[in-house]
Chain A
């Protein structure tokens, strides 16, 4: 935003053209993301409907299990058929589905009837965002720091610290969650093993509740952080080594600029391209991280999704997958825009493609 504001205040002819270039470029990108979202919504609609057998009868049988009155069963079948709109043609169903999404209507949960899917997801998305965003960003930052230090110092960090984090990075996030729970909550007893807050509390904004949340937050948080350090560090290390040999480092030295300042230049220049690594990690990490949430019984989307699968709550599962996709798409778009704004090299390259 900063350079856009500047463009208006200076408002020279040149800058207006540049601004137009930005808007055009990002307009195109946003259009592309919208298109991707449409494809994602379509898949989200279509794939569950490929299920063999009649899901409605299965669901109804499940929902009315234990009831001996056959009319209850038939009524439920009818109700579900109507609710899912299965009496209409597939394209019609799709448009109804999209229309409902626009109204924020994702259907009614089967397992937590009569709560709506939107309501349930609204309760868990905050938890997931509060965990995943800081976790991924802190992990990314610490990984970059380690990579830069490894590039600058080499030796002991290269041969000992880095391989350890590389090994941890190859662990699935939920695997690390197992180990963390076993060590820190079972053996050492310094952290609770699961949940989002102490079970005897009711969510509110008291000091006690916030304290409890923070206590339960630690382990899932550090799991996300530890998992991402190694991969980021390796990329940052080679990037930093490359930058340390760049001409501007030599030139800055010859102008008498101090080493710590030059290291800052290098760190910044090597770290900016790592932002793409951050974007890539969203899509690949989200699965493992959500399963880790489930291991910690953390009240986020991962746990909700697990419950949806286990109770065959299709509307809820479908809502979860849609929400995850939207989160990843938004994250990617934000990173892409951010990257263009903070890195003038990318800005220049993006303008060139125009």
Chain B
């Protein structure tokens, strides 16, 4: 056994899958602990982009630090869109007498200089509609405002209710984002409710893994029991169990899953309940492969010897059969964990997953993303990380399974 474990870790496929899986597991366990957010608390009101959010009032009240840097280019990039740049370039080529080759949109600083040197609102601009002329003029004004490095005065009402300058903020002053009283970093943005996606994601991975694991354990236990009984006892027990197993391999487990989940009321469907339901429907393939393994083992010499020595059936199964089917059972269980995680995601997408008010899973996150049209609103952070997480989990589990298969069945190596 130890030798096989060692060999498994020397198999590149198993190793890659194992490392991936452990990384995901560690992240799922520890990130929610160190994260300053709760997975089900709403910090924003809707999808917000990934980034650090700093309170504007706090900034206005902070004392700035003067930095000797040029702030114009950075501001230009945050103000100007690519479309606007194209419009400006177009104007410069047509009316400003600038060669197209002399313009480099990537170099904001020199582009800006070109614009300031050549733009003139009094230019006749032949062939341009009035509305377009005005649009360009507006653009120019917007730029001038943005590039104004002079200080901005903040006014507040005094005791008499008159406005007076409270503070003046120079254009080259900075503050440390960390020292602002109210600063929130959402590395993967917020979801439709405004919860932190990364915290929610890691918490979901944890719950989904638990569902997969419990479902896998239950499914494997049932499959193993049925397979052992059918293969070992033979006769009518075998006939009956094989018949049942075959029927449930053909009837799609998805259908039974939907029927049972739908029969359980939504409030009773916790994560554990869902994993039990998934486990109850996922055993047939395991039962099938265990049975065929046991059938081939039953005729082996060491089993016959055990029988002749008068050992009891449980003892024979435990001592002479289980150790030989253990490797298959482990592999089957790995596959069941991954299909359990997928099954949960499917159920949640249909609205039959765990109760959404108490827990969060990968499937539930996908469901919300779908219901709140995250794809249409370009809020990729609300679903791309979730899809990638599901895929990485199943991919790592399948890699481990393939690796183990190669270790246990050396003829598969090529």
Binding site for B on A (CB under 8 A): 32-33, 35-36, 39-40, 43-44, 47-53, 166-167, 170-172, 174-176, 178-179, 181-182, 185-186, 193, 238, 241, 282-284, 286-288, 290-291, 294-295, 305-306, 309-310, 314, 317, 321, 324-325, 328-329, 332
Q: How far is the CA of A197 from the CA of B19 in the complex (A)?
A: 45
Given contacts A167-B391, A186-B375, A186-B376, contact A287 B370 (CB under 8 A): no
Restricting to B55-82, which residues have a CB under 8 Å from any CB of A?
Answer: none
Determine if B387 is an interface residue (Cβ-Cβ < 8 Å).
yes
Give 30 CB contacts A-B under 8 Å: A32-B246, A36-B250, A43-B256, A47-B259, A48-B259, A49-B263, A51-B262, A52-B265, A171-B387, A171-B391, A172-B345, A172-B390, A172-B391, A174-B345, A175-B386, A175-B390, A178-B369, A178-B370, A185-B375, A241-B414, A283-B250, A283-B251, A284-B253, A291-B346, A294-B349, A306-B350, A306-B351, A309-B350, A317-B262, A332-B250
Q: Which of A48, A178, A193, A290 has the most CB of B within 10 A?
A: A178
Taking CB atoms, residues of chain B closer than 8 Å to A52 are 264-265, 268
Q: Is the CB of A36 within 8 A of B391?
A: no
Q: Is the CB of A286 within 8 A of B254?
A: yes
Kindly count the residue-residue contacts between A and B in the assembled complex, taking CB atoms under 8 Å apart.
Answer: 144
Taking CB atoms, residues of chain B closer than 8 Å to A50 are 263
Q: Is the CB of B394 within 8 A of A186?
A: no
Determine if B412 is an interface residue (Cβ-Cβ < 8 Å).
yes
Q: How far is the CA of A252 from the CA of B48 in the complex (A)?
A: 65
Given contacts A291-B346, A306-B351, contact A170 B375 (CB under 8 A): no
- Name the one of B350, B383, B390 contacting A171, with C-beta atoms under 8 angstroms: B390
Given contacts A44-B259, A181-B375, contact A283 B395 (CB under 8 A): no
Q: Is the CB of B251 within 8 A of A43?
A: yes
Q: Is the CB of A291 within 8 A of B349?
A: yes
Q: How far is the CA of A47 from the CA of B345 in the complex (A)?
A: 22
Determine if B209 is an interface residue (Cβ-Cβ < 8 Å).
no
Q: Is the CB of B342 within 8 A of A288?
A: yes
Taking CB atoms, residues of chain B closer than 8 Å to A185 are 375
Q: Is the CB of A193 within 8 A of B375?
A: yes
Q: Is the CB of A294 within 8 A of B350?
A: yes
Taking CB atoms, residues of chain B closer than 8 Å to A290 are 254
Q: Kindly provide the distance from the CB of A107 to the nearest chain B CB, expressed in whole angstroms.
A: 16
Q: Kindly provide the distance from the CB of A171 to the nearest chain B CB, expressed in whole angstroms.
A: 5
Restricting to B208-254, which residues have a CB under 8 Å from any CB of A?
Answer: 246-247, 249-254
Which 6 pairs between the two chains have the least Cβ-Cβ distance?
Answer: A287-B254, A175-B387, A47-B259, A170-B395, A170-B394, A51-B263
Q: How far is the CA of A166 from the CA of B402 in the complex (A)?
A: 12
Q: Kindly provide the distance from the CB of B349 to the nearest chain A CB, expressed in whole angstroms.
A: 5
Q: How far is the CA of A89 from the CA of B255 in the complex (A)?
A: 25
Q: Is the CB of B263 within 8 A of A182?
A: no
Residue on A with the closest CB to B249? A283
Interface string of B371-414 (1 = CB under 8 A from A): 00001101010011011001100110010000000000000101
- Name the one of A32, A43, A182 contacting B384, with C-beta atoms under 8 angstroms: A182
Given contacts A36-B247, A39-B247, A182-B375, contact A175 B391 (CB under 8 A): yes
Taking CB atoms, residues of chain A closer than 8 Å to B28 are none
Given contacts A193-B375, A286-B254, A328-B251, contact A179 B414 (CB under 8 A): no
Determine if B352 is an interface residue (Cβ-Cβ < 8 Å).
yes
- Name the one of A47, A166, A291 contacting B350, with C-beta atoms under 8 angstroms: A291
Taking CB atoms, residues of chain A closer than 8 Å to B268 are 52
